[in-house]
Amino acid sequence: MDEPEKIMNGGNNLRPQKRIFLGLLVVTCLLFTILLAVLWYVPYVGLTSLHPRLPLILGVVFFGLLLSVIGALVLLALTVLLGRDLFFSRKLRGAVIKLLLPMMSGVGKLCGVSKDQVRRSFIEINNQLVLAQHYRTTPDKLLLLMPHCLQFHECEFRITGSTVHCKRCGKCPIKGLVGLSEKYGVGLAVATGGTLARRIIVDRRPRLIIAVACERDLSSGIQDSYPLPVFGVLNSRPHGPCYDTLVDLEKVEEALKTFLVPEYANPAPQAPATDLSAPD
């Protein structure tokens, strides 16, 4: 199994999230078809008084628009299912981010699907589309962007923006993330919210971001950062939201190996420090 497959199959809820997305996609397509049919049928009688062929022309235009939408949705579904970079998949990611997420949130509400379920589905599909692009970059152009809630709540050292003050006590995942940052030579930043996250992105100018957050913050961050590719990793919240959250470090490392160019993806293990002090 290659690295992209490992990453996408690492989450326990991957298949359900794909089914939610594809199901909402079908419902959205049906609703769009009904909308076009109504827009064509309602003025049908009035249009004939202007020109007898006007309803036919309008019907052809609507039918062409419907075929275009269905074609785009089918292409999106194939990209998700096959995990390959098909035609216009980069533009499809933009359509998913800018159009489909707000639309499918409304459709999900009608179908009894919660906002967090729709957001998780959106994050998984965004990740699939990013993986399909086969992005590879050098460590200096890849950024690990973390939420401040990963830090132990009683820690007295400020690591927002930069983790240089982390003492690596091991009470929170920051120690492991600092280790990954040093191992692969990638940047690591901690943000308290969207405003600081955007400033960090502007300052560091990465080509790709591996971001960790909850469903709401991660989905909004992906939207705000477009067209910059963002691979999202959901945090776990055993103590509730925004309080001593956790992250799967193995999944973060697998993402690093996938998006770094091969020569940096497998760094040589560091030799243990040697004690050069004179014996007693």
CA distance 174 to 180: 10
CA distance 27 to 24: 5
> Residue 37, SS3?
helix
The b-or-e profile of 154-177 (16+ CB within 10 A means b, else e) is eeeeebeeebeebeeeeebbbbbb
Task: For 118-163, write each residue's pLDDT tens digit.
Answer: 888 889 888 988 888 888 999 999 999 999 999 999 999 988 877 8
> Residue 260, SS3?
strand
Does the predicted model carry a pTM greater than 0.85? no
CA distance 89 to 67: 18
The pLDDT of residue 178 is above 50: yes
The pLDDT of residue 75 is above 80: no
Task: For 239-251, write each residue's pLDDT tens digit.
Answer: 998 999 999 999 9
CA distance 30 to 34: 6
Lowest mean pLDDT among 45-54, 161-170, 223-232, 238-247: 45-54
Name the DSSP letter for residue 9: T
